Amino acid sequence: MKAVVADPLGGPENLKLVDLPKPAPGDGQALVKIAAIGVNFIDVYFRTGLYKAPETPVLLGSEAAGVIEAVGPNCSFRPGQRVAYTLARGSYAEYAVVPQSQLVELPDTVTFEQGAAVMLQGMTAHYLARSTFPLQPGQTCLVHAAAGGVGLLLVQIAKICGATVIGTVSTEDKAQLATRHGADHIVLYTQTDFAAAVKQFTSNAGLEVVYDSVGRATFLQSLDCLKPRGMMVSFGNSSGAVDPIQPLLLSQKGSLFLTRPTLANYIADSNELRWRSSDLFHWIAAGRLEVRIHRAYPLADAGQAHRDLEARATSGKLLLIP
């Protein structure tokens, strides 16, 4: 089978399309013939070596959708089922073996492309807005990178929860996109101090929560956007890792809460995985959640997909098609 690996670690030019043996499912596993693959920043982290992988060359990709071709012993899924999954690395390939605990059935009302696009980013947006800080009507949140892959989904889910959404973006085009997806207020952080804008929008009251996937470039200013006892949710570092801070800073800025969540801890239980994915699939089918596919690339063009992602030249989801 064809697969993309990082060999050696480094830039996107090190992504290579290679031939690997077609895997066979083991106990409690299924062999998935992949139809669409999601591209995410975590793939960049594994490609560069920021996140360590045990194998060499490094397998990439952590979400996909497709059809089960074969199953191993004690697997409750069956050949022919449409499925999607995330957090099983090696999805940049024509086939993948996936533990049944990480698979969910993909309904006919959701395309393979939509399924591949929402398993990681969509469930991330879901746990952020429904669990890490469960948004309620009347509350206001700040979503950084509001026109990005997670951002567009998080804006929409926050609105489903009844919250007011302030989004930050880098360009006018992205501002219009985030607005079309439900953002109530937009800040062009390239032109405006977003912390000052938040104070203006909230009449100096501040926010209940900030959802920050950017990291170093926005972290400290984001703390200044919160009301006393507000929550800072740092879930990514596209601009670089956040510098160490003293816990006393949280006290000085209003007894703030700080959390650094990750998806794995919010879908470790199979019931929770099914709850999050079924919510997303239901909202998609009902037209309440729009999944924006920015571009789908051939599998061999994974390097270009990474270049576009890292250049922040995208709005919405990037996919690879085997």
User: Over the stretch 47-67, which tens digit does the pLDDT of each residue have?
Assistant: 999 899 999 999 999 999 999
The yes-or-no verdict on residue 94 having pLDDT over 80 is yes
How far, in Å, are 14, 68, 176 from residue 64 at the CA level? 22, 12, 29
The yes-or-no verdict on residue 120 having pLDDT over 90 is yes
Domains of the chain in sequence order? 2-121+265-321 (3.90.180.10), 137-260 (3.40.50.720)
- What secondary structure does DSSP assign to 127-171, as a single string? HIIIIIS---TT-EEEESSTTSHHHHHHHHHHHHTT-EEEEEESS
Q: pTM (2 decimals)?
A: 0.94
Give me the chain's average pLDDT, please.
96
Rounded distance, CA 102 to CA 42, Å?
A: 18
Across the chain, where does the E strand assignment appear? Answer: 2-6, 15-19, 29-39, 58-59, 63-71, 82-86, 95-99, 103-105, 140-143, 164-169, 185-188, 207-212, 226-234, 257-259, 293-298, 317-321
Rounded distance, CA 316 to CA 322, Å?
A: 20
Separation of first and last alpha carbons in the chain:
10
Give the pLDDT confidence score for residue 50 in this predicted structure: 87
| Omega of the bond leading into 8 within 30 degrees of 0 (cis) | yes
Work out the angle at residue 211's Cα, subtended by the Cα atoms of residues 206 and 64, and round it to the nearest 5 degrees.
Answer: 165
User: Over the stretch 206-251, which tens digit does the pLDDT of each residue have?
Assistant: 999 999 999 999 999 999 999 999 999 999 888 888 999 999 999 9
Rounded distance, CA 128 to CA 216, Å?
A: 19
